[in-house]
Amino acid sequence: MAKDNQTSVTDFILSGLSDDPQLQPFLFLVFLVVYVITFAGNMVIMGVIKADPQLHAPMYFFLSHLSFVDICYSSVTVPKMLETFLAEKVISFNGCISQLYFFLALGATECLLLAAMAYDRYVAICHPLRYTALMSGTVCVRLTTWSWITSFLLPLVPVVLISQLRFCGPNVVDHFFCDILPVLRLACTDTRLNEMLSFFLCSSVILGSFVLTLASYGSIITTILGIPSAAGRKKAFSTCASHLTVVAVFYGTVTFMYARPTRKFSFQLDKVVAVFYCMVTPLLNPIIYSLRNQEVKEALKKALCGKGRALK
């Protein structure tokens, strides 16, 4: 049948993580627990930062935004993935395009916020006397505002172009959510321009923010090594160790996925890697920041003790 006479696709079917029916309930339970912990953990971080005046500092201002992004980021993909384990794997065309847009926008927001957090640590360690002026409340608000605005504007053009492509079957998206390449593979028309544009924008955001983060930490490490006392070096490094851990996990996975040639790896491998930046990184963020940050731990203890006294 000629492509011109084919019916356009109105729904997609997500292949999911596994086709094994005996494995589906187990995967559902595992990812449900991970999602609940992720949601609750990031909400706790946001609540503690808001409630404790000692955490009303630029570093924690950015961290609260990062926690909010992680909640939204995982919520874009995980609930639909959980549904596919127990029910139909169908997602509407509009739902698929919307999921793709918000996934890209929130992913870009996380990249830019991580870069802003690295800059904050750079100013705190390399220019401590000018920290208050360079990282004022106005500067922090501007950095976060532009991170959100830029991230939600950048994916508009590629996603709109993808939505205008002709999809005439098959309609099975080889993933557990609507990602760029699995959706483009289903188009009946030439998608090379879409792939090039998507690769350029994703690479620009990921590598651009990563370079800024590396530059910040290069200066930070140089400054720390110049501190004469071992105790001073340890204290300076501890202030950015948590953020550096998050950066390594997040950028390692997203760079593999979106800043590499588009046709070299299987979608099955992509699914495994996608689990890390869709679920593992949002889960690790509150754990890393609460366990490795003394100020956050103290604020959590205060909040818990206060709640315990109130219950008595």
Judge whether 172 and 15 are in contact, CB under 8 Å. yes
Q: How confident is the model at residue 5 (pLDDT cuts 50, 70, 90)?
A: very low
Alpha-carbon span 177 to 189, nearest angstrom: 22
At 232-283, the pLDDT tens digits run 777 777 767 777 777 877 887 777 767 665 555 556 777 878 888 888 888 8
pLDDT tens-digit series, residues 116-172: 988 998 998 889 899 999 999 999 999 999 999 999 999 999 999 999 999 887 889
Residue with tokens 């029916």, as numbered in its chain: 21
CB 201 within 8 A of CB 153: no
Kind of pairing between the strands at 11-14 and 172-173? parallel
Task: Give the chain's domains with CATH numbers.
Answer: 10-311 (1.20.1070.10)
Cα 84 from Cα 79, distance rounded (Å): 9
Q: How confident is the model at residue 2 (pLDDT cuts 50, 70, 90)?
A: very low
CA distance 82 to 27: 8
Q: Helices 58-86 and 281-291 sit at what angle, rounded to 10 degrees? A: 140
| Residue 262, token pair as written in the block | 């588009």
Tokens at 264, concatenated? 């070299």
User: What's the rounded Cα separation, in Å, for the pair 72 and 282?
Assistant: 10
pLDDT, the chain, mean = 84
Give tens-digit pLDDT for 59-88.
Answer: 889 989 999 999 999 999 999 999 888 877
Q: Which residues of 185-208 are buried (b: 16+ CB within 10 A; e: fewer)?
A: bbeeeebeebbeebbebbeebbbe
